[in-house]
Structure 1
């Protein structure tokens, strides 16, 4: 390069004059600091196991996370699988496994699996039904206003 740009020279000077305070030695490893000089990337990400997974320090867990994310992406994007279908298939598989486990325990002289009882109170059901009723009434009111008022702009706004 015959002529040098002053910005280029300034950048090369900054790169060549490496600031040793930006590198922190933890044992044998270098921990590069990006946010200030007092916090490492591991510390900024919260430390612990989640930061280890995100920074690929725990390669096995990181690979499992990437594999699960890729599988979920393939199911929903490539194979156009739906969340409701996936949930139903998982529930069917779980019920089948529990049924077989419960019936096979008599052959191997083991106690059947303990499945906790699940009860929904009347108050909870009434609250949910009341909320759903309120939303249905609100939707019917909007529909009535559109139909009776003949407001095309509001109709198109609600339809989209």
Structure 2
């Protein structure tokens, strides 16, 4: 490696400073097709949600309506033209998966309620300060931007999980 690969003549390269993985490759445009693809998808999402005024719920509803209409018309025309019906797999959620999901949700809700109880009874002042500051920060950021922009540009879920 030449000296041009080093940042401020340091021992580590910029790629190593950025973590050296896929994220560093994307930031340094080493995987040009993937980086350009991410930028195009981000631009398309911005156009759909900000310029056109769609919300995530209205876009999902429109896509599902289009999908159901196409499948319905395909099935009706297949019956008239003696063609095969659309290949739709039989989807179902097993009881085992439902029980595992319920157990996981119950565990996390109980942990959250335990923390809430400790804060409400004054047992954990440090956690109270963390939660209060996090909620204040979320409130300030939320008043400046809308939810979709906040979701696109930050690691909002990391803030909530770390509490």
TM-score under structure 1 normalisation? 0.51
Q: Which has the larger radius of gyration?
A: 1
CA distance in 2, matches of 1:144, 1:135: 14
CA distance in 1, matches of 2:101, 2:65: 26
CA distance in 2, matches of 1:159, 1:136: 18
1:81 Cα shift? 2.7
1:159 aligns with 2:131: no
Structure 1: segments with no counterpart, 5+ residues: 1-43, 55-61
1:92-119 deviation digits (Å, cap 9, x = unpaired): 2111211121112222221211211112
Kept in 2, the 8 Å contact 1:146–1:155? The answer is: no
Match of 1:129 in 2: 102
Aligned length: 103
1:155 Cα shift? 4.6
TM-score under structure 2 normalisation? 0.50
Q: 1:80 to 1:138 in 2, by over 3 A?
A: farther
Higher strand share: 1
Q: 1:117 to 1:105 in 2, by over 3 A?
A: same
Higher relative contact order (CA 8 A, sep 6+): 2
1:45 aligns with 2:38: no
Structure 2: segments with no counterpart, 5+ residues: 1-29, 137-163
Higher helix share: 2
CA distance in 2, matches of 1:112, 1:99: 10
